[in-house]
Amino acid sequence: MTLDQRHLDAAVLARMYADAHDAGRRIAAEEKIDVAWNKIWRIQPFPFHPHLIDLGDEAVRETCGDSPRLPSGPLHDAAEVCRAGVPTVMLFVQSLRGISHNKIEDTKEEHIALSVRALDRLASKTMAWIVERA
């Protein structure tokens, strides 16, 4: 079994992990089974840039009319960019059946087209923001 825990606050994430450990030990004792924990991977939470989040929100609303926000932080490449101090944000595209990072992940073509338009708007807004700051 794998456990993937995510939170934007490192202290909350640590409490979640401790709670999972406690629950695992308790359930193992009740069921008279063994439990062992092995950390596969861990990364500290890195927040996205607040202004870029707002620009992304604007770009998506202008493109789609609605912009649901996901509490997410960067992982993989984006985390390293964030760690280097580069303002970072990501746009997410809806996956069919809510499945992502899996071989059966799929997205409607019209959602892909909308995401490209939203990304183009975000890129334009970001370039204008950079010029304003220069």
Q: In terms of residues, how long is the chain?
A: 134
pLDDT at 2 over 70: yes
CA 117 to chain centre: 21
Cα–Cα distance measured from residue 82 to residue 42, given in angstroms and rounded to the nearest whole number: 16
To the question of pTM greater than 0.85 for the whole model, the response is: no
Each residue's pLDDT tens digit, 44-96: 888 889 999 999 999 999 999 999 887 776 677 888 888 899 999 999 898 99
Per-residue pLDDT, 22: 96
Residue range 106-118: average pLDDT?
96
Q: What are the residue boundaries of the structural domains of the chain, listed by start? A: 1-45, 50-133
CA distances to 16, 56, 84, 131 from 42, in Å: 13, 27, 18, 36
Per-residue pLDDT, 74: 64
CATH number of 50-133: 1.10.150
Phi (first) and psi of residue 107, to 5 degrees: -140, 140
Alpha helices in 1-134 (DSSP H): 10-31, 50-64, 76-83, 109-133
